[in-house]
Amino acid sequence: MNQDDKKQAAAEKALSLIPKGTYIGVGTGSTVNFLIDALARTQFDIKGAVATSLETERRLTAAGIEVVSPAVTGRLPVYIDGADEINHSLQMIKGGGGALLREKVVASISDTFICIADDSKYVSKLGKFPLPVEVLPFARSVVAKALFRMGGEANLRVGFKTDGGHEILDVTGLDLSRPLTMEDELNKIVGVMDNGIFARNAANVLVLGTKYGAELISAK
């Protein structure tokens, strides 16, 4: 099984966790694209979806699924999304696809966060993947200096703008051994829109694609 097969296995297994006839949150990325394909193929009974990116909106619409805003849905029973890294407490690094701000909004209004990922993403310690930090372009250098003082090296994602018109700094070197504290500390820097640590909004369940198929994993 290659990495895409594992992503697909995780995405298809997640269908069994989605309540029928409701609105759901749908994330962004290649693993989620397998989910959208599966929702379309099985004509899954959902009312509609809140999308975490313009790209996901486009794919959902093409699949015949109505895209709605959080103003319409209020709280969501489930939100399904991928991750760049997920630890054994189901805390994550997200934002590799640059959609982290909307992703955090959708996570914050969802009762259950279902993470779908291949097994290369499941790690004992967060931090190998550079941490995406979304910044107001005007404040980019101010934020980069603050990150430097915290031990981080910030690299601008060149030529990239988020759906909200912001920039992304990919940051290495930060100590992520206390994800909750670091998530909060980074968000205190003026000019930071949000950061890719999902510890306050950790996943409730991980559907992990492995060479044996997909398995459900809870926080340890």
Could you list the active site residues? 103
DSSP states along 115-171: EEEEGGGB-SSS-SSPEEEEE-GGGHHHHHHHHHHTT-EEEE-TT---TTS-EEEEE
Per CB under 6 A, 81 contacts ligand 5RP: yes
Q: Which residue from 11, 14, 98, 147 is in contact with ligand 5RP, where contact means CB under 6 A?
A: 98
Which lies closer to ligand 5RP via its Cβ, residue 28 or residue 110? 28
Q: Which residue from 36, 65, 73, 96 is in contact with ligand 5RP, where contact means CB under 6 A?
A: 96
Number of residues that bind ligand 5RP (CB under 6 A): 17
DSSP-based three-state secondary structure for 203: coil
Which phi and psi angles does 46 have, rounded to 5°? -120, 155
Which lies closer to ligand 5RP via its Cβ, residue 151 or residue 164? 164
Q: Which residue from 14, 49, 85, 95 is in contact with ligand 5RP, where contact means CB under 6 A?
A: 95
DSSP-based three-state secondary structure for 200: coil
How many other C-beta atoms lie within 10 A of the C-beta of residue 205? 18
Per CB under 6 A, 209 contacts ligand 5RP: no
Q: How far is the CB of 206 from ligand 5RP (least distance, A)?
A: 13
Per CB under 6 A, 179 contacts ligand 5RP: no
Nearest 10 degrees: CA dihedral of 71, 91, 60, 52?
Answer: 50
Which lies closer to ligand 5RP via its Cβ, residue 132 or residue 152? 132
Per CB under 6 A, 57 contacts ligand 5RP: no
Whole-number Å distance between alpha carbons of 9 and 207:
9
Whole-number Å distance between alpha carbons of 190 and 135:
9
The token pair that represents 132 in the structure block: 């995406």
Per CB under 6 A, 100 contacts ligand 5RP: yes
Q: How far is the CB of 145 from ligand 5RP (least distance, A)?
A: 25
Interacting residues with ligand 5RP (CB under 6 A): 27-31, 81-84, 94-100, 103
